Amino acid sequence: FNIEAVVTKPTTEQEMSSACAYAPIFTVKNKMELDSLIENTEFNSQLAVLIDFGIIVNQKVIDYFPLGIINSHFSLLPELRGADPISFAILEGKDKTGVSLMLLVEAMDEGPILTFGEEVIEKTDTTPTLTGKLIKLSYSLLDHTIPKYLKGEIVPADQNYISEQFSRYVSYTRKLAKNDGVIDWNKTAEQINNEVRAFSGWPKSRTNL
């Protein structure tokens, strides 16, 4: 794809410059700076892609792009909405997770789904290893889905429909805190093992687009 620009946080500016050397890099620290960037910069793109941005995007920014913003979320929505779906997939002992491509809305991870892909969680997976697998899956889904979406070949599906069709129900995650890493020896061995795997390599590196 011809990437017109990359918007990221100052902490990941260098990483994004290496990943996409030909595109201009814009940095924003918060919602206000993002709003100001969109108001004062002319972008010609019909579509934007958001991954692990960590900043609230309001409707005005979403509406700036004629075809909206595709959000790549690392869970099988509507399961594990929120800040840390990868770690919580391990913590909850799930045997699979995945990546969902949805159209961004102001509500938390509630946008209509364009497509999704599943990924098996191995017993040896930790948050970093599972993150790596899901990044590759996300790339593949974006590569195959964006051209079809641009051609109008994909009809987004409401998450309620997805929930009914695949028996996946709404759940939420949060950011893990340091205290979450304290071992509770009253838990089962499996629960403790899941916690160790989820916290292995924590805090995990993040890619912000």
Furthest-apart CA pair in the chain: how many Å?
A: 57
Structure token pair of residue 11 = 């902490």
Mean pLDDT of 142-147: 97
Rounded CA-CA distance 135/137 in Å is 5
Q: What residues contact residue 191 under an 8 Å CB cut-off, 6+ apart?
A: 93
How many other CB atoms are there within 10 angstroms of residue 47's CB atom? 15
DSSP string, 13-76: HHHHHHHSTTS-EEE-SSHHHHHHHHHHS----S-EEE-S--S---HHHHHHSTT-EEEEESSS
pLDDT of residue 201: 65
Please report, for residues 64, 115, 143, the alpha-carbon distance to residue 148 in angstroms, rounded to integers and kept in the order given: 21, 11, 10
Q: Which of 61-75, 138-152, 171-185, 192-206 is predicted with the least confidence, judged by mean pLDDT?
A: 192-206
Q: Which of 30-44, 53-67, 171-185 is predicted with the least confidence, judged by mean pLDDT?
A: 171-185
pLDDT of residue 144: 97
**Which pLDDT band holds residue 95 (cuts at 50, 70, 90)?**
very high
Mean pLDDT of 47-53: 94
Rounded CA-CA distance 85/34 in Å is 24
- Confidence (pTM): 0.88
Rounded CA-CA distance 48/75 in Å is 20
**Which pLDDT band holds residue 202 (cuts at 50, 70, 90)?**
low
Mean pLDDT of 85-106: 96
3-class secondary structure, 107:
coil
Contact 6, 25 (CB under 8 A): yes
Please report, for residues 1, 37, 69, 179, 184, the alpha-carbon distance to residue 189 in angstroms, rounded to integers and kept in the order given: 47, 49, 42, 19, 10
Give pLDDT tens digits for 58-88. Answer: 999 999 999 999 999 999 999 999 999 999 9
Residue 203 has pLDDT above 50, yes or no: no
